[in-house]
Amino acid sequence: MDLLGPSLEDLFNFCSRRFTMKTVLMLADQMISRIEYVHTKNFIHRDIKPDNFLMGIGRHCNKCLESPVGKRKRSMTVSTSQDPSFSGLNQLFLIDFGLAKKYRDNRTRQHIPYREDKNLTGTARYASINAHLGIEQSRRDDMESLGYVLMYFNRTSLPWQGLKAATKKQKYEKISEKKMSTPVEVLCKGFPAEFAMYLNYCRGLRFEEAPDYMYLRQLFRILFRTLNHQYDYTFDWTMLKQKAAQQAASSSGQGQQAQTPTGKQTDKTKSNMKG
């Protein structure tokens, strides 16, 4: 069992619900890889959201693992990085497999059949359009959900958040309607074209089709280089924590300096009293 750090939702709030493009792109790279790893094990996650991605703690997280996590039933952590420049603090883990489903037989590699009239599984905010329509989920749906997560980080909220309805069913219907009526280009307006390209690609995948994970990673890696960012694993929260630590150290240093003259003055006073 591994102790993991805060979720991306926690860190988003810590950063005042604003991530820089550098942080979003570094996260996208790891998130695509985590989902790909799950898919190679013949499972789909079906609940991709910021709360289910956790940052590691300490150096011992820097390994490939698939182990139980006690907090959640049928849960495991997934991390696949072999990069020696990683530390546990920089590594992203995918958790909570309570809604996961095997989409392919281990031995025969036979894909599950296409079905309709399915209930919505997962979190409505990030669910794929096909999931809203009651279509059996497959690999494409995990990837589409990730696209909404990335735009949530970019925009700070999604157009279908905060909709009011009398029942949960009616709310899901409103979310579905808003999601389907919002063109990808409108959702991604004001942000690099790669995000719209990502979502359009995922929405265009066939039910049994394997996503081209490398193509999707490359979309964001090329954008990252074009923007002249350094892949140093320095996330927004890293900067905030470093700044807070520096301020604390500075305050502590000023406190010590303030005490020293007082001490000297006391000694001088004592000396005068003796004289």
d(CA 99, CA 111): 18
Q: How far is CA 121 from CA 51, 56, 208, in A?
A: 16, 27, 18
Reduce the DSSP state of residue 76 to 3 states and report it: strand
From the centroid of its chain, how far is CA 32?
10
d(CA 53, CA 234): 17
In this structure, what token pair is assigned to residue 91? 């590594």
From the centroid of its chain, how far is CA 94?
9
Beta bridge partners of 35: none
Residue whose tokens read 């919505």? 120
User: What phi and psi, each to the nearest 5 degrees, are found at residue 128?
Assistant: -70, 160
| 47 given a catalytic annotation | yes
C-alpha count within 13 angstroms, C-beta hemisphere, residue 134: 6
Catalytic residue among 2, 47, 96, 142: 47
Closest by CA position to 148, among listed 195, 207, 92: 195
Positions marked active-site = 47
